[in-house]
Amino acid sequence: MIESRQLLTGEAVARHYDELDHFYRNIWGEHVHHGLWRRGDESPEIAVAQLVRHVAAQAELKHGSRVCDIGCGYGATARMLAREFDASVVGVTISPAQFAFAISQRNGNSNPGFLLCDWLENDLPDENFDAAIAIESSEHMIDKPAFFDQAHRVLRRGGRFVICAWLANADSSRLEKRWILEPICREGRMPAMGAEADYKRFFEQSGFDLESFEDLSAHVKKTWPICIRRFLINLCRKPSYVKFLLNSHSSNRIFALTILRICIAYNTGAMRYGIFAARKV
């Protein structure tokens, strides 16, 4: 487990996404997660949709499935699941900016529904969902075992839990940990980045039967060169980008450097990307 060496709170995670709200949507769009390139020549828009559909397949979604989207971001995944799978979705986010945007996109529809709260302190009913998904949100959880326990609590028996996670390579060198992985955690407001073995242990301890793990690193890492290129283009074209980077009060401006670190981490193998699929027993 790679730790950020910095005391983080849920409020710090929320501030990160609120402060970078404009940049996330401007650079990458409404899906705040990696794209999945199967052929390699897909557009980023197709790639992010492919990741969602892959998660849906792992979650075994069916017509009318009740789904909890943990760390739902701007609600794009929840809307897609409701639209394409006729699922009944509840999305949870800790970011007021993300919550406001998600609500604004509902156009009067009650599905999906969205909650603004800390997942670790949610009051969703027990055994209420057929599936729970967490696409790149587990990294931000202060208490990883509690994150798994809450998912176990809200799922019905036999329900599916699917996690897409940024993973630390267990064999990373000391230099990679110090100069790449630990700064990514600190700058990205992630208390810790677990390795594959850590997640497998958390699943088991919380009462899940882990049925599959897939390393998708080679199929998602294209996300970051695209983000870097788009950021540099906007930096040249939009004064607001320069103003943000030069503003000493912008506590998250360091993330401009973090996206470069992440790109390096994938290319060196220090960081991996995996999808876990488990069932509540």
- pLDDT of residue 228 exceeding 70: yes
Q: What is the pLDDT of residues 263-279, one digit of tens each?
A: 999 999 999 999 999 99
pLDDT at 246: 87
Share of the chain above pLDDT 90, in %: 84
Instruction: Supply the Cα-derived Rg of the chain in whole angstroms.
Output: 18
Smallest Cα–Cα separation from 24: which of 76, 91, 67, 92? Answer: 76
Using DSSP, state whether 216 is helix, strand or coil.
Answer: coil
Per-residue pLDDT band for 197 (boundaries 50, 70, 90) equals very high
pLDDT at 255: 87
| pLDDT value, residue 40 | 94
CA distance 74 to 208: 28
Predicted pLDDT at 174? 93
Q: What H or E segment, with its residue span, contains residue 56? A: helix 44-58
CA 88 to chain centre: 20
pLDDT confidence of residue 252: 84
Residue carrying the six token digits 């088991």: 204
Backbone angles phi, psi at 146, to 5 degrees: -65, -35
Residue 249: the pLDDT is: 81
Residue 5 has what pLDDT? 64
- In the chain, what are the domain boundaries? 2-280
8 Å CB contact between 102 and 74: yes
When pLDDT is averaged across residues 52-59 and rounded to a whole number, the result is 98
What's residue 251's pLDDT? 81
What CATH number labels 2-280?
3.40.50.150
Average pLDDT over residues 194-222: 98
3-state secondary structure of 280: strand
Residue 254 has pLDDT above 70, yes or no: yes
Q: How confident is the model at residue 7, as a pLDDT?
A: 64
Q: For the chain, give the number of residues.
A: 281
Which secondary-structure segment (H or E) carries 244? helix 239-246
